[in-house]
Structure 1
Amino acid sequence: MNTPPCPDHIDAFDQGLRNRRAVLGDAWVDRSLAQANAFNADFQSLITRYAWHDIWGRPGLDHRTRRLLVLGMTIAQGRWEEYELHLRAAVAGGVALDEIKETLLQSAIYCGVPAANTAFKLALDVLRQMGVALPAQPLTPEHRVSVHRTFSTPELHVLRQGRGTPVVLSHALGMDVHLWDALARSLAEQGCEVLRYDHRGHGQSASPPGPYSMDDLVADGARVVREWGRGPVVWVGLSMGGMVGQGLAARHPDLVRALVIANSTSWYPEAAQALWAQRIAAVESQGLAAIADGVMGRYFHDDFRAAHPEVEAAARATLLRTDPQGYVACCHAVAKVDWRDALPTIACPVLVIAGRRDQGAPVAMSEAIVHSRPGAQLVVLDNASHISVIEEPEAFERALREFLSSL
C-alpha cells in the first residue's frame, strides 16, 4: 500500500525548492528543473539543497533583506545574468523600488561607479520589460531637487525644487522631508517653488538636546523662510507641521501668505496630554520600536495598510531612523501646543484638511480650528486617516490646488 509522504518529513531538496519558488517564481523554477540533464542535474540539486534550503531557509534574515544583499553582491562581482534574474524576482516579489534604488546607490560607493552605472542601466531595462512606469524627474533647473542646510543653528536639512509660487511643506512627527516627495514633484511641475525641511530632531537635521517647545519649532520655520528669501509663503503643514504653521502665521504674519493645516489640532485636552506622557516614557525606556505599531495604526487605517504594506513599511523605517531623543523632545512641544488664543488673530487665508478616519486628530479637532478662525475652509477626506497626503494623495492635492487658485 502506497502512502503519501508526510509533509513534516520532506527532504532538503523539497524544502529548498519551496524557497526557490518563493523567491524566483514558479515559471522560472519549472523551466530550470525541466531543462536539467545528466550533466547538470547534480548541480541543480546541490544549489537547491544548500543555497535555497540551508541559506535562504535560515531564520536570521528575511527574504527581502537577502534579495537586496544578493543584488549588491552580484553587482560587486559583475554577475549580470544573476543580477537581472534576482532583480526581476525582487520587483515581482514586492521589494520597494526605493529600497532597490538605495542598494544600487550604495554599490556606487563600495563596488565602483562603473558597476553601479551598469546596474542602473540593466535595472531600467528590466523595469521597462516588466511594464513598470517610472515618473519623470528631469534634472533641469525648474525640476531639479537642490539640497541645502540652514546657515543658522541648529542646522536644518532643506530640499528645494521648482519655480513659481513659494510653498513650504512641513512634515509630521516621526516622518521627514520624503513624506512630501510626490506632492512636491507635482507642485514643482505645475508652477510652484517648493521648499521642505526636516524638523530639528528628525531626518538629516540637527538634534540638539531637548525638550523643545512649540516656540522653538516655530522659530525654526521662520528662519527657514527668511533664509530662503522667498516669503511670504504658502505654508502646508501636516500634524506637527500644521501646529508649526499656526504659530508661524500668528507670530510672523509677514512670512505667511496662506496657511494649510492638515490632520492637526490647536491644542490637546488633559486626557490626551496624559497619553503623550505615556508615549514619551515608552520611547525613553524602550526606544522607538516600542511605539512603532501604535504609531502606524494611527497614521494609516487598516484598509490602507492591508492594500499598501510597502508604504507602511517605508513609514515605519522612517520612524525607526528618527533620533529617539529628538523625537521625545518634539513630543514635549506637540503635547503642550495651544494656539486657541492665537487662531482668531491669523489674518491670512486658511484651509483645514481632515481625515474622516483619523484617530490621532479626529475631525472634531479640525472643526474646532475652523470655528476659532472665521472664514477658514474645511475639507474632509472620507477615506483618509492621519497621513492623508499619502492615503488620499489625489484628493489632498486637489483640495490644495483649489485653495491655491483662490488666492
Structure 2
Amino acid sequence: MSYDPLDHDFERGMQNRRRILGDDWVNRSVANATSFNAEFQNLISRFAWNEIWGRPGLDAKTRRVIVLATTIALGRWEEFELHVRAALLGDAETRLTPDEMKEVLMQSAIYAGVPAANTAFAHAQQILREVGQQIGYVLTPLAPAETVHPGIGKEAAGRSKPTLHYSLRAPRNGKAPRHTVVLSHALGCDLTMWDELAQLLAADCRVVTYDHRGHGSSDAPAGLYSMAELADDAARLLRELDSGPVVWIGLSMGGMVGQELALRHPSLVAGLALANTTSGYPAAARDAWQQRIATVRTNGIEAIADAVMGRYFHERFRAEYSATVRRFRRRLITTDAGGYIGCCHAVGMVDTSARLSQIAATTLVIAGELDQGTPLAMAQKLAEAIPQARLTVLKNASHLSAIEQPQAFARAVQEFLLTL
C-alpha cells in the first residue's frame, strides 16, 4: 500500500487561490507564514479555496461578486481591498470591469447600507487610481447632477413644438455607436414599452426612445392628427439630436410612422424594422377606427380598454401574465383622451400602400402569428411591396409581439442589425 505525500485538497485550493488572487499576493502570503498562522493558511486553502471556490455551481466571476458584497457588508476592508485588486487585475475570464465593480458597490448601498458603500467606493477608487493605467481606465471629473441612470438613459424634452419627451441611451461599451436606433411605440403605450430591448441594444448602440404626441409626457395638441404629422415630429426630434441616419424600429403605430418617415425624410432612415403594422386598412376597419374615436369621445378610454387588451395580447398570455396586461391597461386608460383620439385618426387613415416601392431602406417586417389587429397578410403585403424587405413571423405572438415574445423579437432585431 502506497501513501501519497501530497494533500490534494490543499494543492487544489492553492491552485484556485493563485488563479483568483494572483501569484504575487499568494507568494507574499506563503512567505509570511509562521508557526503561529501556517495551520490557518492551510485551513483556508483547503476549505475556502478548494471546498468553496472549487465548486462548479457558480462561475468564479460570480463568486468574486459575492465576496466583494460580503466584505462590504461586514466592513472587512483589508479583505475587500485584496479582492478589489484581484478582480480588476485578474484573468479575462474572472475579471470585473470598473463599471461592473461600480454596480456591485451601488447595490451594496441598498442591501448593506449607504455608509458601508461610501467606504467601499473610497477604497475602490483609490485602488483604481493606482491600477488604472494597467487596465486602461482613467478616472475623470463628473458632477453628480450630470449623471444618468444607465438603464433609462438621459430623459429630456425636445425644443420644438409639439414638445416630445424622449430618452437617450449612450453605448455602454464607451465606444462610438454601432448604430443609432430609434424605438417607436404602439398606440396607447409609451416609451417604457421598449425598456428591455433598449437596454439590450444599448450595449453597443445609441438608443433613442420617445413618446409620440398625445402620449406619455409629450404634448397633446388639440385636433386630429395625420401620420405625416407624426413622421414630421420624429424628423424634428432626430434633427435636434443630430442623429444622422437611424435604424427605425416601430411597432404598430410606430411602424406606420417609420414608413412615412422613410418616405418623407429618407436621409434620416438607414434601416427599417416594421413590426405588427400595416400600410393601410380596408373600409370596414377604417369605420371601426371611427367608431373607436366616437366611443372614447363619449365614454372615455376606459370603455374600450378591455377590448384593446384582447387585441394586444392573446388569451393564454393574458391568463399567465395578468400583471403585464394590467400594466399596459393602466397606461392605456391614463393616456390623454384627446391625444389618443388624435392618434387613432392617424392610424385609421394610414395610407402608404401605393408608395411602398419608394422606400429605399433595408427593411425587416415582423409579424405575430396570432395578431388579429394587423394580421399576417398585412405584413406579407409590406414585405412584398418594399424592395429590400424580408419577413419574419414570431410564433405565439399577437399584436404587441415585443412584449409577448421579447427574446424572439430581440433576436430578430439583432440579426437584422448585423445586416446593416
Q: TM-score, normalised by structure 2?
A: 0.63
Q: Does 1:149 align with 2:162?
A: no
Q: Does 1:354 align with 2:364?
A: no
Does the CA contact (< 8 Å) of 1:144 and 1:162 recur in 2?
no
Q: Does 1:158 align with 2:166?
A: yes
Query: In the alignment, residue 356 of structure 2 is paired with which amino acid?
Result: L
Among 375, 385, 388, which residue is 2:398 paired with? 385
Q: CA deviation digits over 1:2-54, x for unaligned, max 9?
A: xxxxxxxxxxxxxxxxxxxxxxxxxxxxxxxxxxxxxxxxxxxxxxxxxxxxx
Aligned counterpart, 1:320: 333
Q: Percent identity?
A: 52
CA distance, structure 1, for counterparts of residue 152 and residue 412 of structure 2 = 25
Inter-CA distance 200–123: structure 2 relative to 1 (3 Å threshold): farther
Aligned counterpart, 1:177: 191
Among 246, 249, 255, which residue is 2:268 paired with? 255
State the superposition RMSD in angstroms: 2.0
CA distance, structure 1, for counterparts of residue 333 and residue 348 of structure 2 = 20
Query: How far did 1:374 drift?
Result: 2.9
Q: Secondary structure at the match of 2:240?
A: helix
Query: In the alignment, residue 237 of structure 1 is paired with which amino acid?
Result: G
Q: CA deviation digits over 1:99-123, x for unaligned, max 9?
A: xxxxxxxxxxxxxxxxxxxxx9369
Structure 2: runs of 5+ lacking an equivalent: 1-108, 114-146, 172-176
Inter-CA distance 143–302: structure 2 relative to 1 (3 Å threshold): closer
Q: Secondary structure at the match of 2:189?
A: coil
CA distance, structure 1, for counterparts of residue 210 and residue 298 of structure 2 = 29
Please give the residue correspondences for 1:45-194 in structure 2 after superposition, counting only pairs within 5 Å.
121=110, 145-163=153-171, 164=177, 165-189=179-203, 191-194=204-207
Q: Does 1:217 align with 2:206?
A: no
Inter-CA distance 250–151: structure 2 relative to 1 (3 Å threshold): same
CA distance, structure 1, for counterparts of residue 150 and residue 303 of structure 2 = 42
Query: In the alignment, residue 181 of structure 1 is paired with which amino acid?
Result: D
Query: How far did 1:341 drift?
Result: 1.9
Query: How far did 1:143 drift?
Result: 5.5
Query: How far did 1:304 drift?
Result: 0.6
Query: How far did 1:382 drift?
Result: 1.1
Query: How far did 1:154 drift?
Result: 0.5
Aligned length: 275
Among 383, 386, 389, which residue is 1:376 paired with? 389
Does the CA contact (< 8 Å) of 2:215 and 2:336 recur in 1?
yes
Q: Does 1:306 align with 2:314?
A: no
Stretches (4+) displaced over 6 A:
139-142
Does the CA contact (< 8 Å) of 1:159 and 1:197 recur in 2?
yes
Does the CA contact (< 8 Å) of 2:246 and 2:269 recur in 1?
yes
CA distance, structure 1, for counterparts of residue 273 and residue 192 of structure 2 = 18
Q: Does 1:365 align with 2:381?
A: no
Query: How far did 1:251 drift?
Result: 1.0
Inter-CA distance 286–140: structure 2 relative to 1 (3 Å threshold): closer
CA distance, structure 2, for counterparts of residue 325 and residue 177 of structure 1 = 19
CA distance, structure 2, for counterparts of residue 179 and residue 379 of structure 1 = 21
CA distance, structure 1, for counterparts of residue 275 and residue 264 of structure 2 = 19
CA distance, structure 2, for counterparts of residue 123 and residue 274 of structure 1 = 59
Larger Rg: 2
Does the CA contact (< 8 Å) of 1:257 and 1:349 recur in 2?
yes
CA distance, structure 2, for counterparts of residue 144 and residue 400 of structure 1 = 20
CA distance, structure 2, for counterparts of residue 175 and residue 214 of structure 1 = 17
Does the CA contact (< 8 Å) of 2:152 and 2:195 recur in 1?
no
Query: How far did 1:210 drift?
Result: 1.3
Aligned counterpart, 1:115: none
Aligned counterpart, 2:417: 404
Query: How far did 1:183 drift?
Result: 0.4
Query: In the alignment, residue 154 of structure 1 is paired with which amino acid?
Result: P
Aligned counterpart, 2:246: 233
Inter-CA distance 182–144: structure 2 relative to 1 (3 Å threshold): closer
Query: In the alignment, residue 110 of structure 2 is paired with which amino acid?
Result: K
Q: CA deviation digits over 1:329-370, x for unaligned, max 9?
A: 111111111001221001110000000000000000000111
Q: Does 1:208 align with 2:221?
A: yes
